[in-house]
Amino acid sequence: MDDKMRTEIVAVVSRVIKVPVDQIDPNANLFYDLGVDSLLGVEIFAALDKKYGINVPEEKLRTIKTVNAVVSLVESYQKKT
């Protein structure tokens, strides 16, 4: 995984959920551990869409559970463009 991209994505998640970057474990469950609800999840992906120009289908968003999974998903969509 690209460390720069991981750092940027963690920063986006941090900003949206209002949790300091150093308190975000990339393996933590977004919903149970970090308190992300469906609205915050949409906000995270809207911010990532704006930053990286990706458009992730809603059904795919439901499968994402960790920050690492978000990074992998963004990387996979980056490779398609």
Name the domain count of the chain: 1
**What stretches in the chain show pLDDT beneath 70?**
1, 80-81
Question: How many residues are there in the chain?
Answer: 81
Q: What pLDDT is stored for residue 22 in this prediction?
A: 95
Q: Which residues contact 74 (CB under 8 A, 6 or more apart)?
A: 5, 9, 48, 52, 54
Q: Which domain holds residue 57?
A: 3-80
Q: Which residues contact 75 (CB under 8 A, 6 or more apart)?
A: 1, 2, 5
Q: What pLDDT is stored for residue 10 in this prediction?
A: 95
Q: What pLDDT is stored for residue 61 in this prediction?
A: 81
Strand partners, 43: none
Output the domain CATH number for residue 69. Answer: 1.10.1200.10
Q: How many CB atoms are closer than 10 A to CB 66? A: 17
Residue 67 near residue 13 (C-beta atoms within 8 A): yes
